[in-house]
Structure 1
């Protein structure tokens, strides 16, 4: 499941571009556009994490059944922090 898919289905927010466009911006030296794109990815990732932390699930679209389903997540912030210390 892509970041764009999860963000659209869970948060009703999408990415501003895709990785191929980011590569074009890099090659063209358009660093401001690339930076904005990367920052937006970080914001979407954070927002998905916080949503999952609060609700215990994210939402995705099942292609075969064409319906929205919950992706259960068990993100215990204390376990995550403890894991970083190991």
Structure 2
């Protein structure tokens, strides 16, 4: 059976905290989540488990994400010497859609139009939850991050599956009009 791994992570620090986007490897991981089609399960990784996450990504037949090539992998590079973009087989849906449309779309825009469901929070919420956890030691904010990240992975997986099944993704254009873009992810 082919193992497709859907993947996302949340960070400890923002671009502003680390001196800009060029320093993604200094952002730190609060939570990483991967869903494996081989196991049929979500796998949640803390910062001290990044080796396991990297191993899962390297072993996958395909890693699917949304902006994982230019965001998640550079963040993970702070934890590994491996060249993740070149040592994994990837489908970065953001990059694929950008090639087709000439501009970027948020995952939420595609998920809302294609699936009728959007994201449950955003990365700024995850950063606030991380700060709350660091200040209080209460693990409830970490659970919120894990839940949010799992939901993003679920949305990523369902958008990918929608594209495979239908050969297109729906989204609202810049004027708010429903439209679609053809994709070939078979």
Following superposition, the deviation at residue 14 of structure 1 comes to 1.0
Q: TM-score, normalising length from structure 2? A: 0.39
Whole-Å separation in 2 of the counterparts to 1:60 and 1:34: 27
Higher RCO (CA < 8 A, seq sep 6+): 1
| Structure 1 stretches lacking a partner, 5+ long | 77-86
Deviations 1:7-60 (A, max 9, x none): 111100011111111111111111000000000000000000000000001101
Whole-Å separation in 2 of the counterparts to 1:31 and 1:71: 36
Match of 2:185 in 1: 75
Match of 1:53 in 2: 164
Q: TM-score, normalising length from structure 1? A: 0.83
- Pairing 1:23–2:127 present: yes
Following superposition, the deviation at residue 71 of structure 1 comes to 1.2
Instruction: Tell me which of 139, 143, 149 is aligned to 1:32.
Output: 143
Match of 1:13 in 2: 117
Whole-Å separation in 1 of the counterparts to 2:157 and 2:122: 18
- Pairing 1:3–2:107 present: yes
Following superposition, the deviation at residue 67 of structure 1 comes to 1.2
Aligned length: 75
Whole-Å separation in 1 of the counterparts to 2:108 and 2:179: 16
Whole-Å separation in 1 of the counterparts to 2:179 and 2:119: 21
Following superposition, the deviation at residue 3 of structure 1 comes to 1.0
